[in-house]
């Protein structure tokens, strides 16, 4: 690969081309050792100011009481240090447990469904002919490309109580089957967004719908990267389909899967836009997940509690960073270019 060869040759700070580097110095007056730092500086500053400093500030705010008076543009009042009070009220709140439950259950179910569906579709794409495969890929692109806002709105419309397609389809089921599966046969006017469990059901469908294409296309890319010689050799040795999958396909796709699992967990843990829109804002406290709860405390009411919101965000971030560590380890392991 070009990447590795470039690296093997080293960058400007290797000792070999000393004559050339002297030339460079003369031309631009910048020591070659300083070049990468100069190039990196603007980007690093942006990240530091817009991502790192706010993270530090978030932790700091979580120990303070921050309200409207503290965030005024003109001479804001100093924030009062309250120690662990915010965390105590987070952990003591019944909302914490309900939103943690919503977050975790939603993430587990969605990640599992997304991965299973995505993998199946990826395998299917690999088996389909070229034209059919392109056709399906373009189709699933449509789902993937739909902006989260539009996703939520479209699914809200599909599950509309009166004119939604979902209720119409459920009404199509033979009465006995509907009765057997759901204990009812008439779905006309069934509201989906009043009750937390049905709301989350729609949310899961919407998020799985939007995120399985990414898994499918990644799995397809992974499958395509496995050299066909391996399969031919396995066939020669009389390996069965199951053991070919277990011994060749799965081990070679394992790094892909672990990255996909972690990415999916992270994305589904912090789902916000779709939930916000499906739940219709921050009024339905029962439907909160950690993201939405944090937002609701900080911006939802007339008396914003930014410190409390920050404390919730810290809890969520800590959970996510723990999961991220697994991801980073995997990437560092597989990406020879990073070290």
For another protein, the binding residues in 1-20 under the rule CB under 8 A are: 2-3, 6-7, 9-14, 20
Q: What is the DSSP letter of 71?
A: G
Q: Does the protein bind another protein through residue 118 (CB under 8 A)?
A: no
Kindly tell me which residue out of 111, 160, 200, 204 binds another protein, with binding defined by CB under 8 A.
160
Kindly tell me which residue out of 277, 284, 287, 288 binds another protein, with binding defined by CB under 8 A.
277
Rounded least distance, CB 221 to another protein, Å: 5
Rounded least distance, CB 286 to another protein, Å: 19
How far apart are the C-alpha atoms of 98 and 290, rounded to whole Å? 9
What are the DSSP calls for 239-295, one per residue?
--HHHHIIIIIHHHHHHHHHHHHHHHHHHHHT--HHHHHHTTSS--GGG--HHHHHH
Q: Does the protein bind another protein through residue 178 (CB under 8 A)?
A: no
- For residues 199 and 193, the answer to whether their CB atoms sit within 8 Å is yes
Q: Which residue, chain included where needed, has tokens 């995120």? A: 211
What are the DSSP calls for 93-115, one per residue?
SHHHHHHHHHHHHHHHHHHHHHH
Rounded least distance, CB 276 to another protein, Å: 8
| Chain centroid, CA 220 distance in Å | 20
Q: Does the protein bind another protein through residue 68 (CB under 8 A)?
A: no
| Chain centroid, CA 10 distance in Å | 35
Kindly tell me which residue out of 104, 105, 109, 158 binds another protein, with binding defined by CB under 8 A.
158
Q: Annotate each residue in 286-305 with x if it binds another protein (CB under 8 A) or - if it does not, as one string.
A: -----x--xx--xx------
Contact range with another protein by CB under 8 A, out of 83-91, 105-113, 144-152, 176-184: 144-152
**Looking only at residues 75 through 114 of this chain, which bind another protein when binding is defined by CB under 8 A?**
76
């Amino acid at each position: 690969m070009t990447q590795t060869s470039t690296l093997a040759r080293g960058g400007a700070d290797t000792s070999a081309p000393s004559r050339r580097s002297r030339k460079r110095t003369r031309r631009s007056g910048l020591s070659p050792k300083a070049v990468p730092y100069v190039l990196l500086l603007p980007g690093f500053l942006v990240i530091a100011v817009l991502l790192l400093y706010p993270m530090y500030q978030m932790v700091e705010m979580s120990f303070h009481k921050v309200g409207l008076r503290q965030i005024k543009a003109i001479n804001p009042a100093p924030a009062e240090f309250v120690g662990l009070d915010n965390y105590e009220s987070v952990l003591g709140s019944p909302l914490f447990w309900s939103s943690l439950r919503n977050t975790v259950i939603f993430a587990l179910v969605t990640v599992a469904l997304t991965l299973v569906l995505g993998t199946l579709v990826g395998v299917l794409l690999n088996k389909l002919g070229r034209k059919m495969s392109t056709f399906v890929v373009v189709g699933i692109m449509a789902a993937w490309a739909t902006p989260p806002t539009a996703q939520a709105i479209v699914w809200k419309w599909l599950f509309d109580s009166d004119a939604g397609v979902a209720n119409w389809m459920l009404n199509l089921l033979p009465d006995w089957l509907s009765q057997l599966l759901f204990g009812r046969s008439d779905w006309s006017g069934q509201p989906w967004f009043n009750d937390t469990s049905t709301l989350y059901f729609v949310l899961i469908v919407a998020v799985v719908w939007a995120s399985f294409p990414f898994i499918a296309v990644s799995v397809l890319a992974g499958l395509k990267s496995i050299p066909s010689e391996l399969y031919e050799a396995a066939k020669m040795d009389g390996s069965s389909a199951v053991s070919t999958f277990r011994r060749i396909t799965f081990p070679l796709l394992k790094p892909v899967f672990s990255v996909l699992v972690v990415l999916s967990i992270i994305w589904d843990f912090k789902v916000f836009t779709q939930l916000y829109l499906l739940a219709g804002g921050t009024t339905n406290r029962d439907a909160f997940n950690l993201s939405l709860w944090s937002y609701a405390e900080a911006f939802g009411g007339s008396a914003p509690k930014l410190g409390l919101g920050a404390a919730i965000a810290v809890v969520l971030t800590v959970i996510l960073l723990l999961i991220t560590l697994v991801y980073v380890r995997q990437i560092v392991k597989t990406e020879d270019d990073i070290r």
